[in-house]
Amino acid sequence: MDTRRLSRFSVAAFLAAGLLISGCSPDSSSPEASPSDSATGSGAGPASVDQAALRKFYEQKLRWRECGTAGFQCATMKAPLDYAKPDGAEIDLAVARKKATGPGKRLGSLLVNPGGPGGSAIAYLQSYAGIGYPAPVRARYDMAAIDPRGVAGSEPVTCLSGKEMDAYTQVDQTPDDQAETKKLAAAFKTFAEGCRKRSGTVLPHVSTVEAARDMDIFRAALGDEKLSYVGASYGTFLGATYAELFPRRTGRLVLDGAMDPSLPAVELNRDQTAGFETAFQSFARDCVKQADCPLGTTSAADASNRMKAFFKTLDAKPVPAGDGRRLGESLATTGVIAAMYDESAWPQLREAVAGAMRGDGAALLALADSYYERDSEGSYANLMYANSAVNCLDLPPAFDSPEAVTKALPSFEKASPVFGTGLAWASLNCAYWPAKATGSPHRIEAEGAAPIVVVGTTRDPATPYKWARSLAAQLSSGTLLTYEGDGHTAYGRGSDCIDTAINTYLLAGTPPADGKKCS
């Protein structure tokens, strides 16, 4: 499958894809209510959108209600299912907000998105951003979120039952012969067909371009003249796409853990494969210094070899993992990848790998389950389904056949001796997707947009640092902020330097100097 699952939520490593508000309705004559846009890029969607037909969406009044934790409000927003036919079917989108707490003058709304694609922005708002973002930011902004179409509360894509998904995540991701290759391809086909049967109506209309257009309707419904936004991981692509479509409505945008929109799927997947290798090597260097390292205490190279050898052992003979489940190579690899997103998970990973090596795979399986958002009852959240649905629309498939994967294996294995084989085969999923891709790789310049802050972490596993450098250079108003460290994304992860730079930008509008570095 396509491995671009990004965010803490991120690339779906194995078999899963590639991780504020005023509520007033603007006057229809105001700049923020106008549905006209200025799409310029080759991935900007329909060349012509019926502006008059969109006006009813821009002028809608949201009916807010209390929801979840005290202080949060939710509403349902209408948007066209197909922007090329805005007078046709509509889609219901879940939105939420938490009003600015004060003191200080309100600066408008700050939309947030945690990435994925497939991560619930509303869940992120209510569990973290609305209560955990720096107090000065929450004091001045209404914190807001919209679940992108096809995700969580916004007509979610569904594909498989829990039992079917269990079977899917256990399929051998590193086929050793033709029979195993056919079985893997059949699993991708079954997944795609399940999505078509259960979500065929929405499936062709969950692209990032459409989600960005939805964000502009939300901006207008909130009464904001410009969009201020913090997007993480895939959320950076969503934010950059918004800036491309609506450069003159782009306010203060923070794109943290950036994607590179100019790359085709195969390059994105190979770059990300290298990113996970970089992160694993950082983990390995730390692991061998710890007395409890299950991969030895000699060198990172030896630790890598032991990890590869253990995956091979699990490929041949999975180990018990509790509740009648077993841990094989695919789920074990997913568990290891899950721990690469945050270095604070490294001690847990050491313990989990040690347990699996002793014949108890429960802890490593728990890491994989958290990555796939599987609960203790065997039900899966919508994340992995939406992840594939968005990725497979946004770009043509990385590979169109098993033979194409086989040819590319050497380059993926060079990018990552530990993960390369599995992530190459994971990139095959979009070959069988029932909805044709509508996007294409292209540079995003967003000429005319206000300064945009692009944040990159030097050892980020899911969004390699080179992507942040590239996006900042593409954007006409981009400025690069670098965190020299481990883990996925940088804002709110412990660097006072990063947080101060971003807070200053959000509160005062002053971006950091281009090329500023923090550690």
Task: Give the residue numbers marked as catalytic.
Answer: 233, 460, 488
**Do the beta carbons of residue 249 and residue 212 sit within 8 Å?**
no
Task: Please list the alpha-helical segments (H only) found in 130-232.
Answer: 130-132, 135-140, 162-170, 178-199, 208-221
Tokens 């950091």: give the residue. 512
Could you give the CA distance from residue 514 to residue 309 in angstroms, rounded to a whole number?
44
The C-alpha angle with vertex 345 and arms to 342 and 349, in degrees rounded to 5, equals: 130
The C-alpha angle with vertex 216 and arms to 214 and 218, in degrees rounded to 5, equals: 75
478-486 and 319-320 beta bridge pairing:
unpaired
Closest CA to 340 of 2, 4, 3, 11: 11
**Do the beta carbons of residue 127 and residue 143 sit within 8 Å?**
no
Tokens of 283: 């983990």
Could you give the CA distance from residue 36 to residue 322 in angstroms, rounded to a whole number?
56
For 174-190, the three-class secondary structure string (H helix, E strand, C coil) is CCCCHHHHHHHHHHHHH
How many CB atoms within 10 Å of residue 376? 8
Residues 6+ apart with CB under 8 A from 124: 112, 113, 114, 145
- 170: helix, strand or coil: helix
Closest CA to 505 of 479, 482, 483: 479
